Amino acid sequence: MTAWPAPSRLCAALVAGGVAFLPLSAPLGQGADPGAARPGAAETSLPPSASTSPAAAQPAPAARPARASTSRAARAATAAPVALGEGGTIRAIYGVHAVGMQVASLEAELELTASRYRVQSTGRTMGLLGFFMSGQSTLRAEGAALRLAGGIGHGLRPARYSNDGEWRGRRRHVSIDYTQSEPLVRAEPPNAEEREPVPAEMQRGTVDTLSAMVVLLRLVAERNDCTGEAQTFDGRRRVDFTVRREGMETLAPTRYSMFRGEAMRCFFEGKQVAGFYRGQEQAEAARPQKGVIWFASPAPGLPQIPVRIEAEHRLFGTAYVHLQRAFLPAVPAGTTLEQARR
């Protein structure tokens, strides 16, 4: 059985790397490794991307090896970013490309203060894929941002997560309530109709993919690092991720993206471990999927966010995600994407 992912899951998994990653071997809410890379630390070598091959059709020029940026535009793109947690909302718009065309779009919004966070992403198929397989959905997550002793913590406490949308003409919904001792999941259609259950013991200690993204962004902003791991559960699947920092790289200009210049390069790998479709070939579904994600401040006054992603995809070969626009909207904090469009 071939499982076509809903656009929200595809976009969220790509744009967030599917995750956010905690420091290696550190449970949620614990501090990062004191030996993690800091600004000014020596950069590692840049091995070839594990997510692409020379034969892969790329919609944009390949990134060039790291070098000093001297142009005014490059210096502006790498200017000191705004620190996360200072309040306000950042909104970013991405295009997802594969097989030489744009197949999906994503709007993501993050509000983060010293005590709480709220994140939302809306994805929809488009182009040829949208013609044959129309779908859209919105993911939301919120919870408490934890401030730990010594200022080295990168923790949070999820409160709620939801995914609402339509795929193949059928309404779909999943929500997770974290206020109990274990995640409380509600799903429509019920998971039992389509999937093997994720055992309760495999749900404990997990976070949803959007909340995990917040941890990763804080790790990048506060530690200048992305090395870590995360166990995620989206109400239907358990997926484990690892990521490692590979250094800095200069991304060449491309018509697909607003960004060019120096960016932190991070390799990631995701592996589904539970929640498989019934009748699905588990060996293939559990095969690790790899990719590379680049983080940078896309413009002066903006924090570091994903600016480009390349990732393996079972259907498309390689999927490419490009940041098309990022800004601090002049709307009150807490305004939804739907309200902002009015």
pTM reported for the whole predicted model: 0.75
pLDDT band, residue 82 (cuts 50/70/90): low
Q: Does residue 169 sit in helix, strand or coil?
A: coil
Higher-confidence residue of 68 and 178: namely 178
Q: Are 23 and 228 in contact (CB under 8 A)?
A: yes
Q: What is the DSSP letter of 150?
A: G
Helix ranges (DSSP H) in 167-291 = 191-194, 200-203, 209-223, 282-285
**Distance (Å, whole) CA 229 – CA 216:** 10
**Distance (Å, whole) CA 13 – CA 32:** 23
Q: Does residue 131 sit in helix, strand or coil?
A: helix
Could you read off the pLDDT of 19-49 as tens digits, one per residue? 333 333 222 233 333 233 333 333 322 233 3
- What is the C-alpha radius of gyration for the chain, rounded to an integer number of angstroms? 19
Could you read off the pLDDT of 6-21 as tens digits, one per residue? 433 444 444 443 333 3
Structure confidence at residue 329 (pLDDT): 77
**Distance (Å, whole) CA 160 – CA 163:** 11
Could you read off the pLDDT of 238-295 as tens digits, one per residue? 999 998 999 999 999 999 999 999 999 999 999 999 999 998 888 888 889 899 999 9
Q: For 43-47, 149-153, 173-177, which range has the lowest pLDDT when averaged over its residues?
A: 43-47
